[in-house]
A = this chain, B = another copy of it.
Amino acid sequence: MPKLGMRPIRRRQLVDAAIASIHQYGLGETTIARIAEKAGVSPGIIHHYFADKDDLLFETMRHLLEILRRHAVARLRSAKTPRARLHAIVEASFTEDQFSETVSAAWLGLYGNARQSPRLARILRLYHARLRSNLVHALKSLVAPPHVGDLAEGIASMIDGLWLRCALRGQTGDARIPRALTHAYVEAQLLRPATMASGPSE
């Protein structure tokens, strides 16, 4: 008698195991066998729950993005003012669980594969668009319309850039520094939004 509801549980187990394997071995050395071992199951069973290895990897990426999305939604819900919304977005990007060695390794590894996988590229574009859209929405009442787009892109880049540098240096764990830097950047820009994208001053 097949246990009901096992499917989502197993799939989640395997996604977690995939993340753990990418963290320990790197994406290039992550094999079905290693994922199965981390999940405590046999290699064969993975193809019962996922079409193939790529499918599992894609689902892993989707899972990571979904967590990010939930964090953003939760924090935006309790943010009352536009400024608070801005900071909520920043906070969501540097949540402890995302800003960990384990998860960073997975992101970094999957980034490298995005170019080859249309599916992966698509959801990554989606994440980028959502981050930008959230920022644009929050900025609309804070800066003049012509500057909204550039400022949103600037904040998003600042977030991704800080994350990337921390991830590559292995300086994950403490998200306070990148968070503070981003907040400072946002505040500085809000005080002088008119200077954005105006090019080098003479």
Tell me the A residues contacting B by CB distance below 8 Å: 25-29, 83, 87, 105, 108-116, 121, 124-125, 128, 150, 153-154, 156-162, 164-165, 168-170, 178, 180-181, 183-189, 191-192, 195-201
What separation, in Å, do the CA atoms of A168 and B121 have in the docked complex?
Answer: 8
> Are the C-beta atoms of B168 and A128 separated by less than 8 Å?
yes
Q: Which of B108, B164, B189 contacts A161 (CB 8 A)?
A: B164
Nearest-CB residue, chain B, relative to A195: B188
> Are the C-beta atoms of B87 and A200 separated by less than 8 Å?
yes
> Are the C-beta atoms of B183 and A128 separated by less than 8 Å?
no
Q: Which residues of B contact A112 (CB under 8 A)?
A: 26-28, 108-113
Question: Can you sample 18 A-B contacts with CB below 8 Å?
Answer: A26-B115, A111-B164, A124-B168, A150-B181, A153-B162, A158-B158, A159-B161, A160-B161, A160-B165, A180-B199, A184-B195, A184-B197, A184-B198, A186-B200, A187-B198, A188-B189, A191-B192, A191-B195
Q: Which residues of B contact A161 (CB under 8 A)?
A: 156-162, 164
